[in-house]
Structure 1
Amino acid sequence: MLPSNWIRWFRPGAGHLSSAQPEFTFTAVSLGLAIGCLICFTNLSLGLQSGWISMMSIQSALIGFLISRILPTPLTPQEIIVVQTTAVATGTMPLAAGFVGILPALGLLSEERDGTPPIHLTWLSAVGWSCSVAFFGVFLSPPIRKQVIIEEQLSFPSGTATAQLISVLHKLPPPDTSVRQRAGYRQLDPEEDVPVHEAIADVPVVEGEDEHDVEEREVVEHQGWHALLYSFVASGAMTLSAYFFPVLFSIPLFGNYLAKEWLWYFTPSLSYVGQGIIMGFPTTLSMNLGMFVGWAILSPLSKLSGWAPGPVGDMSTGARGWILWTSLGIMCADSLVSLLPVVWEYITDLVKGRSNYVSIGEHGTKEDHETETEDRLVPNNWVVIGLLASVVFGTIGVWIVFGNEGIKPWATVLGFILGGLLSVIGVRALGETDLNPVSGLGKVSQLFFAWIQPGNIVANIIAGGVAEAGAQQAGDLMQDLKTGHLCHASPRAQFYGQLIGSSISIVVTTTAYTLYNRAYVIPGPSFPAPTAYVWLSLARLLRDGQLPEKSASFMAVFALLFGVLSAVKTYTTRRQVWWAKWIPSGVAFAIGFLNTPSFSIARLIGGIMEYVYRTRYAKDGSDIRLIVVASGFVLGEGVVSILSLVLKTFGVGVASCWGCGHGLCGGCPAVV
């Protein structure tokens, strides 16, 4: 029999054990870890392919809900939020720990050019590196939550959308985002002190619930499994077929000449289509505009003008390496300009010694708008101890893995401090725009470390990765905390889920990356790891200032153009102008430069599907059925990629290289 205080430890929010329902349960955490591991493999694969990953928070909640329907005791909404939070913490580690950018970049180092040989971490070293950066953002989240969710009430669109979905599926009232106008989570009615979890469980029908919500819930409950299963199987079958017949993912749609010489081919990946559905039409349109400008205009221009004389796909002397610099200029300009209003407001509030978001009570004191009881919050002493421990042990871990030659301990400490500052900026940008500009924040950190530790490329990449990890992780977890806030989930329960998900993901992500490295060349045809070149190229530029011929001019022109577009987009978005979403996104536009056309075209198909379905078939402009299908597409390829990895590791090769004469099929040699 467990002591009562142990029960309270494992049941956050159970201040009244006889009435409150548990949230942090073994079932919820186990289900979250299982879903998170699938997302982790999927994100690692997609990140190494395209430099883009997804939080998959809505997808995690959907899948968790569907699975919970077949359990003896269905999970409560708060348990589903723990499922989602744990899954997101597990699934986003490939980006947080730099497996899709930082580590491949270190492997691209050249002793002749950079003064240091390539750095390839062993499995144990990669675990040590991941442990060093995996927890700083988790401990940073509780104090940031207090400011941006409770006091400033930032919208966090994805987190709010997930809360709305959970409310619909569990027959709850729509989440009330106006914290000032409700009594709080401790009490539903001023006259009755009823625990909210108990009250919610007893509500069979929601007053005022519209027919659309009822229909959506019934569709998910009764047809969701079928849609998820069919889309999962279709995507998995396509992926497995492409493993044995590689030409299926390298179709020379525009002819063998354009495919071989200019890298114009088509990859009909259903996972890419699913990602396009999740991204939405405006984002995929921006990406494809960038793809067209980069690969149909600038790539031939640089090649034919002699500025990039090497093969088009060569990242050093070819057009792909040349247009990378224009992409880098766009990303830096877009990210920095979009951050300026957030930084300005933050500095203004600090200088004036006030906050526009904190009201003053009757007696002249600041009013605390926290709606949770102390036993449901993460204690401040945990936060302080956790932050100090993560910095100390993280610094020691980085020093053990890379040594003094790689990065000095003081530089790592500065990386953590900078990461904390950038996290505040990134989280506020995410809360307002639903975009965490970690790419731009990473460039800011590289610029800073090029100034304080000039000439050291390894230190520049590592310290930048430390800073980016905290900003990225804190931002992703904040979306989950917003969902929990709106659906009355315990922040402490979510905190536990985040810690467990991050811990397990260290081993899962490291093992997956090690297996991919053994089976494939990274970067290579199957996994080009485009963001690795971004990190390394900027580090080299900051060290020696050398750019390919004429690239500086195009870099400056496009940076100026997208700086202006970003300013207009930020201004119109803040004023909720309807056409703001159609202004091209600089980051998405730049991603179109980084990836070959094959990665962008399939995503555009998904974006078009989302737009047509939402505007013509979905009721009231929103329907979650397409999200279920998109989730199946993405997860199907992610799961089957594990099988493909096992086949590759055990030497099971392709069945036929027919049609691979353009030499772009993964697993097939170039056939002339």
Structure 2
Amino acid sequence: MSRSGGIEEEWERRERSGLEIEKKAVVENDNSSSKEASTEKAFENEIVPSWKEQLTFRAFLASAVLSVAFCFIVMKLSLTTGIIPSLNVAAGLLGFFFIRVYSFALQKFGLLKQPFSRQENTVIQTAVVAASGIAFSSGYGSYILGMMPKIASQAEDGNTVNNMKPLSLGWMYGFVFAVSFVGLFSIVPLRKIMIIDYKLTYPSGTATAFLINSFHTSKGAKLAKKQVNKLFEWFSMSFLWAFFQWFFTSSDGCGFSSFPTFGLQAFNKRLYFDFSATYVGVGMICPYIVNVSLLVGAILSWLIMWPLIEQKKGIWYAADISGIFISIAMILGDGLFHVVCMLITTGWSLMRQYKKRDSSSVVAIAGDQPSSDSTHDREESYDDQRRKDMFLKDQIPMWVAGLGYVSLSAISIVAVPQIFHQIKWYHILVSYIIAPILAFCNSYGCGLTDWSLASTYGKIAIFIIGSWVGLHGGGIVAGLVACGVMMSIVSTASDLMQDFKTGYLTLASPRAMFCSQVMGTALGCLIAPAVFWFYYKSYPTLGEVDGSFPAPYGLMYRGIAILGVEGTSSLPRHCVELSVGFFCIAIALNIVTLLLEKYDKKWRLHRFVPRAMCMAIPFYLGGYFAIDMCIGSLILYLWRWKNKAGADALAPAVASGMICGDSLWGIPAAILSLANVNPPLCMKFLPASANAKVDAFLNG
């Protein structure tokens, strides 16, 4: 999923992608000479269906079925580690496979009226990713969870009735419907400027288009069939492995997930391999440096820092308290750095555009040189001209965008304060006045660099609205609500522009793309709250750090809200010094990475600098999932060493199958739990001395 959205958007967009090969190929193709084969000439004999024909019943059916499955996957990941890999490959593949099977069945009975087009494939992929993006961006693993009393009790400060909100399916549905659609209209008027005039690359959207275009050629269809077979093969094995593990988990602390791989002392420091196919699959999709950074963070915190801090317990504070604030400091430092960099990059690029608006320069990824006039003219001779013609054919009227934004904002301004009395209508109004500017900055920057900083803008909203309302007025809840409002608008705007880029390159109608985004958003609003409620009711320990679903970002977002309303005076002794130190470390790591990227072209040492955002997560949660993900990286490395072409083609499908199978086992497992059907066995590991005492007790 290129958009939604998973650990945090700041590094998700930048680091995780199952489409790195396609991205590189697309960027290289954009900068190549006219000798490259034309993409559109391969499809010149195909009739492009109208925008209404692209929005078929079978596309809606496929989107609905896949959206349910993907929402379960994303929700599980959000409630465990918060690390969401790119699922675009799986969405594109499964959409392709679903319609191929559906069309084949209809053709057998002579009922097939319309062939499956790449435009229809684009519509399905867009809707599925939009729906699963709601499962992440709607905050069920972060700001919404941060309001619940269980999370509030862990944070200790701000535990007043006015600063908590008991969860209810009714108000969650009302909130997600009130805020999720506004962002769709905030950036629509700028689609021509972004895509055609500025020619922004939007690497994830471009890579997705590259993937879909390849599916619909004869060679691409054969590869897609192999990828689908691998996906389902590993889906089956992963699902059966999760089913097998279930038999040994009759109570907490039982089963393979509690296997002390490196000994009991390491296990007590949360360093072990927990046999999770999900995290191994995630590790295969995420870049190596992400997984290594997670492991570095786990070692630094649980093997070095926390033992030292534990010695100060009673004098300073416990390690479990320190972890959350150090994580917050690193996240804020990393996010702030990238907001500043993005604003500078955006301003500089806009200045260049203004100066060269009369020339034929092409805006590519920041730092790329524009192509020559002659090359530009040759490129425009067929592909670009055809894409422009189709992109400008089905316009979305300006008045529709304006009326949609104003009317939906008005509904949200009225509805949200009815759900959360802590926030007032004028707080929401200010957010919606500022949001289009931030949406433009985020969308433009995302087009340049593929980074979305939506959650950072959300954290800024927490500080502004939280401090405005104050602690006694319910500023913690108000700040978290404002975060949701801002994140929804800014994230949706960049997502939509990514989709427009995909549609531009696959000749999908902008009107069809907009409708598919609306359809996917509506599906997400219907499915995501129900899926979360399913997990919430099935697992009473949800939100507890030692439970199956610790949801670490719930406590982190509440901690940020507490800082917003109370300031640093509420923090334990020496917490400010440690937090400021790690805030500076996060910025320093980013500066070092930036300098190495710019000046070290030979050794490319920036690839080995740990990422601050990734290091922050294990400080609170532990390193077990980091070990799983590093094993995923090791598998991918060995596979590429043996057969690079095969690994590049099939690894994303294998990883997606592992994630899907293991995650979807959560559905029958939760149903069995609700039906009071418990696993028959408990596999638990004890020290030899404790085991001897247990044996003596049982024999006595």
What TM-score comes out, normalization by structure 2 length? Answer: 0.78
Give the secondary structure class of the aligned counterpart of 2:161. coil
For structure 1, the residue ranges without an aligned partner over 5 or more in a row are 1-16, 172-203, 205-213, 310-316, 362-367, 663-670
Alignment correspondent of 2:559: 537
Structure 1 residue 85: Cα displacement: 0.2
Alignment correspondent of 2:432: 416
User: Structure 1 residues 250, 426: CA separation in 2 closer, same or farther (over 3 Å shift)?
Assistant: farther
> Is residue 2:635 matched to residue 1:609?
yes
> Is residue 2:336 matched to residue 1:336?
yes
Structure 1 residue 537: Cα displacement: 0.7
Structure 1 residue 400: Cα displacement: 1.8
> Is residue 2:161 matched to residue 1:116?
yes
Amino acid at match of 1:84: Q
User: Structure 1 residues 307, 268: CA separation in 2 closer, same or farther (over 3 Å shift)?
Assistant: farther
Alignment correspondent of 2:510: 491
Amino acid at match of 1:253: T
Alignment correspondent of 2:586: 562
Query: What is the CA deviation profile of residues 28-80 of structure 1, one whole-angstrom value per residue up to 9, with x for unaligned ones?
Result: 22212221221111101110101222452222111112233322365211111
> Is residue 2:238 matched to residue 1:220?
no
Count of matched residue positions in the alignment of Structure 1 and Structure 2: 589
Alignment correspondent of 1:75: 116
Cα distance in 2 for residues equivalent to 1:318 and 1:586: 23
From 272, 296, 307, the counterpart of 1:300? 307
Cα distance in 2 for residues equivalent to 1:424 and 1:589: 30
User: Structure 1 residues 661, 318: CA separation in 2 closer, same or farther (over 3 Å shift)?
Assistant: farther
Amino acid at match of 1:327: S
Q: Is the 8 A contact 1:287 1:600 kept in 2?
A: yes
Alignment correspondent of 1:265: 272
Structure 1 residue 561: Cα displacement: 2.3
Alignment correspondent of 1:394: 412
Q: Is the 8 A contact 2:173 2:525 kept in 1?
A: yes
Cα distance in 1 for residues equivalent to 2:229 and 2:138: 35
Amino acid at match of 1:33: A
Q: Is the 8 A contact 1:136 1:391 kept in 2?
A: yes
Query: What is the CA deviation profile of residues 592-612 of structure 1, one whole-angstrom value per residue up to 9, with x for unaligned ones?
Result: 324321222111111222333
From 216, 226, 246, the counterpart of 1:170? 216
User: Structure 1 residues 407, 278: CA separation in 2 closer, same or farther (over 3 Å shift)?
Assistant: same
Query: What is the CA deviation profile of residues 344-374 of structure 1, one whole-angstrom value per residue up to 9, with x for unaligned ones?
Result: 2444677x6963574469xxxxxx9955455
> Is residue 2:553 matched to residue 1:522?
no
Amino acid at match of 2:584: L
1:440-451 to 2 correspondence within 5 Å?
440-451=456-467
Structure 1 residue 460: Cα displacement: 1.2
Q: Is the 8 A contact 1:288 1:600 kept in 2?
A: yes
RMSD (Å) for aligned C-alpha atoms: 3.1
Cα distance in 2 for residues equivalent to 1:556 and 1:489: 48
* Higher mean C-alpha deviation, range 630-639 or range 140-149: 140-149
Amino acid at match of 2:233: Y
Alignment correspondent of 1:182: none
Structure 1 residue 255: Cα displacement: 2.6
Query: What is the CA deviation profile of residues 382-425 of structure 1, one whole-angstrom value per residue up to 9, with x for unaligned ones?
Result: 2111111221112222112112xx21111122233344333333
* Higher mean C-alpha deviation, range 374-383 or range 320-329: 374-383
Query: What is the CA deviation profile of residues 617-650 of structure 1, one whole-angstrom value per residue up to 9, with x for unaligned ones?
Result: 122x972211111111111122221111111111
Alignment correspondent of 2:282: 275
Give the secondary structure class of the aligned counterpart of 1:623. helix
Cα distance in 1 for residues equivalent to 2:681 and 2:627: 25
Q: Is the 8 A contact 1:308 1:319 kept in 2?
A: no
Give the secondary structure class of the aligned counterpart of 1:114. coil
From 207, 231, 239, the counterpart of 1:236? 239
Amino acid at match of 1:491: P
Alignment correspondent of 2:381: none
Alignment correspondent of 2:258: 250
Alignment correspondent of 1:38: 69
For structure 2, the residue ranges without an aligned partner over 5 or more in a row are 1-45, 105-111, 250-254, 361-383, 688-696
Structure 1 residue 26: Cα displacement: 1.4
Q: Is the 8 A contact 1:273 1:605 kept in 2?
A: yes
* Higher mean C-alpha deviation, range 319-328 or range 114-123: 114-123
Give the secondary structure class of the aligned counterpart of 2:152. coil
Cα distance in 2 for residues equivalent to 1:26 and 1:576: 52
Alignment correspondent of 2:354: 355
From 397, 400, 425, the counterpart of 2:441? 425
Cα distance in 2 for residues equivalent to 1:556 and 1:478: 36
Q: Is the 8 A contact 1:298 1:323 kept in 2?
A: no
Amino acid at match of 2:74: N
Give the secondary structure class of the aligned counterpart of 2:54. coil
Give the secondary structure class of the aligned counterpart of 1:75. coil
1:76-155 to 2 correspondence within 5 Å?
76-107=117-148, 108-109=151-152, 113-116=158-161, 118-155=164-201
User: Structure 1 residues 548, 148: CA separation in 2 closer, same or farther (over 3 Å shift)?
Assistant: farther
Q: Is the 8 A contact 1:28 1:75 kept in 2?
A: no
User: Structure 1 residues 423, 307: CA separation in 2 closer, same or farther (over 3 Å shift)?
Assistant: farther
Alignment correspondent of 2:49: 20
Query: What is the CA deviation profile of residues 112-143 of structure 1, one whole-angstrom value per residue up to 9, with x for unaligned ones?
Result: 84322631232111100111121122223423
Q: Is the 8 A contact 1:333 1:559 kept in 2?
A: yes
User: Structure 1 residues 359, 67: CA separation in 2 closer, same or farther (over 3 Å shift)?
Assistant: farther
User: Structure 1 residues 612, 289: CA separation in 2 closer, same or farther (over 3 Å shift)?
Assistant: same
Q: Is the 8 A contact 1:342 1:428 kept in 2?
A: no
Cα distance in 1 for residues equivalent to 2:608 and 2:495: 24
Q: Is the 8 A contact 1:307 1:548 kept in 2?
A: no
What TM-score comes out, normalization by structure 1 length? Answer: 0.81
From 575, 595, 610, the counterpart of 1:584? 610
Give the secondary structure class of the aligned counterpart of 2:323. helix
> Is residue 2:28 matched to residue 1:29?
no
Amino acid at match of 1:238: W
* Higher mean C-alpha deviation, range 321-330 or range 561-570: 561-570
Cα distance in 2 for residues equivalent to 1:495 and 1:624: 30
Q: Is the 8 A contact 2:234 2:654 kept in 1?
A: yes
User: Structure 1 residues 658, 346: CA separation in 2 closer, same or farther (over 3 Å shift)?
Assistant: closer
From 379, 382, 396, the counterpart of 1:378? 396
Amino acid at match of 1:20: P
Cα distance in 2 for residues equivalent to 1:591 and 1:253: 21
User: Structure 1 residues 588, 112: CA separation in 2 closer, same or farther (over 3 Å shift)?
Assistant: closer
Structure 1 residue 98: Cα displacement: 1.0
Structure 1 residue 589: Cα displacement: 1.9
* Higher mean C-alpha deviation, range 65-74 or range 76-85: 65-74
Structure 1 residue 144: Cα displacement: 4.8
User: Structure 1 residues 285, 378: CA separation in 2 closer, same or farther (over 3 Å shift)?
Assistant: farther
Cα distance in 2 for residues equivalent to 1:373 and 1:476: 17
Percent identical residues: 25
Structure 1 residue 307: Cα displacement: 6.6
Give the secondary structure class of the aligned counterpart of 1:92. helix
Q: Is the 8 A contact 2:458 2:482 kept in 1?
A: no
Structure 1 residue 481: Cα displacement: 2.6
Q: Is the 8 A contact 1:308 1:318 kept in 2?
A: no
User: Structure 1 residues 438, 319: CA separation in 2 closer, same or farther (over 3 Å shift)?
Assistant: farther
Q: Is the 8 A contact 2:165 2:477 kept in 1?
A: no
Query: What is the CA deviation profile of residues 222-273 of structure 1, one whole-angstrom value per residue up to 9, with x for unaligned ones?
Result: x33331121101111222233332312221223334434x333332111111
> Is residue 2:667 matched to residue 1:638?
no
Alignment correspondent of 2:83: 52
Amino acid at match of 2:237: A
Give the secondary structure class of the aligned counterpart of 1:659. coil
User: Structure 1 residues 296, 441: CA separation in 2 closer, same or farther (over 3 Å shift)?
Assistant: farther
Alignment correspondent of 1:434: 450
Amino acid at match of 2:206: T
